[in-house]
A and B are shown apart, each in its own frame.
Chain A
Amino acid sequence: MKNKLNNKTIIEVKSLTKSFNDTLVLNNINFKLLEGESLAIIGASGSGKSVLLKNIIGLLKPDKGSIKINGVEMVNLKRSIKEKILLDLGITFQHGALFDSLQNWENIVFKIRNKEKLSNKNAKELALSIIKRLGLNSEILTLYPSEISGGMQKRVAIARAICGDPKVLLFDEPTSGLDPVTGSLIDKLIKAAVKTVGGSAITITHDMASVCRIADKVILIDKQTISWSGTPEDMLKANNPKIKDFIKSTNPKLFI
């Protein structure tokens, strides 16, 4: 994915270290996400990718290090200011994290309705316009998350993240559990979201085809730290054994 990149740093992670009890999960993580850039984070299960994302969005507090979003230091930031910053991000969680007690359309417009007053009619229309982009039909809007398939739930979660066209998107395994066609559709949507609003995205994924389709830059987390980084093209030529293992699992050249 080639976007015109600016030099403006959207997210900057410096010397981030995180451990749980005595188990070190992330050690000295450093990277930057530039405006208009799509960054893919890859790594084996349990390597700490989701922990890194949770640190960025303030759900976990790093033991050491700094996380800046649009130049604002997030670690130890006052909660009310942090919440305002988070409102400008679109986030999806690994398992969707849709609210069971709300219908799908209410889930999708949840954040927007916290920001501004929106009638039910307008909110439903907004939700409909978003789910159409994701290949879902209008019937699912009035259903509850438990009444739709896992793949649909994933797409509703993505719809919730992109509602309001946030400039920074953070996706935790957006295509896991989806069929290849839907996975490809989601990738296109991430690309479109980054391109159309001039935004930036961090995507955590295991799907190498997806990495090649959406990423400008890839980082590999292995043994608690970033063991490799580069472009998807570099990745295909890399000598790193972990990268090679990942590439072996699929044939990402097909998707470039």
Chain B
Amino acid sequence: MIKLIFNICGSIGQKFLKFLSNIGHFFVFFVNAIFWIFKPPWYFKKIFYQIIDIGYFSLPVVGLTTFFSGMVLALQTYNGFTELNTETTVARVVLTSITRELGPVLTGLMVAGRIGAKMAAEIATMRVTDQIDALGTLGTRPMQYLIAPKIIASLICIPVLVLLGNTIGILGGYVIAIFKLEFSPNIYLYATLEYLQWIDIIQGTVKAVIFGLIISMVSCYFGFNATKGAEGVGYATTASVVISSVMILTSTYIITALFFG
């Protein structure tokens, strides 16, 4: 019995130590990546391609998600508030929910699913097919050539995507409010603009920057450290999406608490 308890404790301890070791490993990768972001030369062509990939090609999925979220939010808020005769607050609820929370979080999750998985799979494939090793032997630093452009592009694109997503989400709420709930367009628009606050936009942008960092760092880390061939690529892809998503949801609470707590 005592032996069994020792075995269980040993196993838990081993897992915990491995977890700590992984955290340390990630931290070293993080610091290294940040260093290479600022170290010239910068691969502008690669950064440009990443911006197109992350920004331009993510826009449809982010736009659709936030548009429908705005629509649902307007409808649900209206239904909930009808009993209280406060229909006019729909604009405010849609605006605040989208700019503070739904816009950044949905954008972050969508980009984590679309771009994070792609980054991790691409880098992991390069790792398991020796392409990253080859880069090192051809006078190129893999961190500088592969990782830095992805992080820079994420830090540029995700805040822009969040701002666009917020606008599209508010537009979704407007469409439902005007065409289904038959609100006056002028009153709805006036209410939206009246309640629009800089702090909400700043907070959403801060979240977007943090999410961009989380998605690119986590995805690149798992891709860069992939092992075991095709299985390793699969693991890196899944882990990057799951961990990015969990970190996005965790950090959104922390940032909200810092701003409004």
Interface: B21 (CB within 8 A): no
Closest to A114 in B: B139
Q: Are B137 and A86 in contact (CB under 8 A)?
A: yes
Q: Are B139 and A97 in contact (CB under 8 A)?
A: no
Interface residue ranges of A111-126 to B (CB < 8 Å): 111, 114-115
Q: Are A59 and B138 in contact (CB under 8 A)?
A: no
Interface: A57 (CB within 8 A): yes
Closest beta carbon of chain B to A153's beta carbon, Å: 11
Q: Are A93 and B130 in contact (CB under 8 A)?
A: yes
Q: Are A59 and B129 in contact (CB under 8 A)?
A: no
Q: Are A54 and B133 in contact (CB under 8 A)?
A: yes
- For residue A64, which residues in chain B have a CB less than 8 angstroms away from its CB? none
A83 to B144, CA, bound (A): 14
A89 to B137, CA, bound (A): 8
Residues 122-153 of chain B, each 1 if its beta carbon lies under 8 Å from chain A, else 0: 00011001110111111111000000000000
- For residue B136, which residues in chain A have a CB less than 8 angstroms away from its CB? 58-59, 83, 86
Closest beta carbon of chain B to A41's beta carbon, Å: 18
Q: Are B139 and A100 in contact (CB under 8 A)?
A: no
Q: Are A83 and B134 in contact (CB under 8 A)?
A: no
- For residue A100, which residues in chain B have a CB less than 8 angstroms away from its CB? 125-126, 131
Interface: A110 (CB within 8 A): yes
A93 to B227, CA, bound (A): 17
| Residue in B129, B131, B138, B139 with the greatest tally of chain A CB atoms within 10 Å | B138
Closest to A54 in B: B133
Closest beta carbon of chain B to A92's beta carbon, Å: 9
- For residue A59, which residues in chain B have a CB less than 8 angstroms away from its CB? 133, 136-137
Given the known A-B contacts A95-B129, A97-B129, A100-B125, are A114 and B138 also in contact in the complex, defined by CB atoms under 8 Å? yes
Given the known A-B contacts A83-B139, A86-B139, are A93 and B125 also in contact in the complex, defined by CB atoms under 8 Å? no
Q: Are B139 and A111 in contact (CB under 8 A)?
A: yes
A22 to B125, CA, bound (A): 27
Residues 102-138 of chain B, each 1 if its beta carbon lies under 8 Å from chain A, else 0: 0000000000000000000000011001110111111
Closest beta carbon of chain B to A63's beta carbon, Å: 19
Interface: A87 (CB within 8 A): yes
Q: Are B130 and A97 in contact (CB under 8 A)?
A: yes
Interface: A30 (CB within 8 A): no
- For residue B134, which residues in chain A have a CB less than 8 angstroms away from its CB? 91, 93, 97-99
Interface: A225 (CB within 8 A): no
Q: Are A99 and B133 in contact (CB under 8 A)?
A: no
Interface residue ranges of A138-164 to B (CB < 8 Å): 160
Interface residue ranges of A14-58 to B (CB < 8 Å): 54, 57-58
Q: Are A114 and B133 in contact (CB under 8 A)?
A: no
Closest beta carbon of chain B to A173's beta carbon, Å: 12
- For residue A160, which residues in chain B have a CB less than 8 angstroms away from its CB? 138
- For residue A98, which residues in chain B have a CB less than 8 angstroms away from its CB? 131, 134
Interface: A103 (CB within 8 A): no
Closest beta carbon of chain B to A213's beta carbon, Å: 26
Interface: A9 (CB within 8 A): no
Q: Are B137 and A91 in contact (CB under 8 A)?
A: yes
Closest to A57 in B: B137
Closest beta carbon of chain A to B230's beta carbon, Å: 13
Closest to B133 in A: A59
Interface: A94 (CB within 8 A): yes
| Residue in A87, A91, A97 with the greatest tally of chain B CB atoms within 10 Å | A97
- For residue B130, which residues in chain A have a CB less than 8 angstroms away from its CB? 93-95, 97
Closest beta carbon of chain A to B145's beta carbon, Å: 10
Closest beta carbon of chain A to B32's beta carbon, Å: 12
Interface residue ranges of A70-92 to B (CB < 8 Å): 83, 86-87, 89, 91
A99 touches which one: B131, B137, B139, B141 (CB < 8 A)?
B131
| Additional A-B contacts beyond A54-B133, A59-B137 (10; CB < 8 A) | A86-B139, A89-B137, A93-B133, A94-B130, A95-B129, A97-B129, A99-B126, A99-B134, A110-B140, A114-B138
Closest 9 CB pairs between A and B? A97-B130, A97-B134, A114-B139, A111-B138, A93-B130, A87-B139, A91-B137, A97-B131, A86-B137
**A-B contact list, 28 entries, CB within 8 Å:** A54-B133, A58-B136, A59-B136, A59-B137, A83-B136, A83-B141, A86-B136, A86-B137, A86-B139, A87-B138, A89-B137, A93-B133, A94-B130, A95-B129, A95-B130, A97-B129, A97-B130, A97-B131, A97-B133, A97-B134, A98-B131, A99-B131, A100-B126, A110-B138, A110-B140, A114-B139, A114-B140, A115-B139
